[in-house]
Each structure stands twice: as C-alpha cells, then as structure tokens.
C-alpha cells in the first residue's frame, strides 16, 4: 500500500481544527460555570453557602465573606468571589 503525501490544504485544515479545540473547551467551561452558579443561587436558600475569593491560589484556603441576597431570594457574591456550598469551602487550619 502506497503512502500518499498530505496536501498543504489538508495540513492547514487539520491544524485549524486542532487550534479550535482549546477555544471550544474554554467556551464550554464558561457556560458550565454560569449554569452552576445560577442553580446554586436558588439552592443557597435551603442549604448553607459562602462566598469564597476567586483570587486565592489553589493551595491556600480561600477568604470567605457572607452571602448577599437579591430581592427575589437568590444568593450572590461580590465581585472576585464565587458562590460555594458551605460544606465545599476550604477552611484555614
């Protein structure tokens, strides 16, 4: 069986497809985060939640602040903080 050389157009197309994968993954991750935050906002009415700093390095315990509440009862956090269930938060020792 003879090996056929790959044309320049085919190489360019495959490289563009590979370059698009990280972009697609990044966009998918952002939309998943918004969906989780939205559903957690309602869940915090019934389960304890906290706002944890998003600027904390992964090996450090995140600074937490109390949850803020909208008039419709949904929980939210100030800028640079993310909503977490209280049982999921990292505590300082």
> What total number of domains does the chain contain?
1
State pLDDT tens for residues 64-73.
Answer: 999 999 998 8
Q: Note the pLDDT of residue 64.
A: 93
Residue 63 CA to residue 65 CA, distance in Å, equals 7
Residue 84 lies in a domain: yes
pTM value? 0.52
Segments forming the whole domain that contains residue 42:
9-88
Instruction: Give the count of beta carbons closer than 10 Å to the beta carbon of residue 35.
Output: 10
- For strands 49-53 and 81-85, give the pairing: antiparallel
State pLDDT tens for residues 26-61.
Answer: 544 444 344 456 778 888 888 899 999 999 998 998
Average pLDDT, the chain: 74
Residue 3 lies in a domain: no
């Amino acid at each position: 069986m003879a090996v056929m050389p790959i044309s320049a157009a085919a190489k360019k197309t495959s490289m563009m497809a590979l370059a698009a994968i990280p972009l697609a993954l990044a966009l998918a991750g952002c939309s998943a985060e918004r969906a989780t935050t939205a559903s957690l906002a309602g869940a915090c009415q019934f389960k304890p939640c906290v706002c944890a700093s998003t600027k904390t390095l992964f090996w450090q315990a995140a600074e937490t602040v109390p949850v803020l509440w909208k008039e419709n009862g949904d929980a939210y956090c100030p800028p640079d903080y993310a909503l977490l269930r209280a049982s999921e938060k990292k505590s300082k020792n």
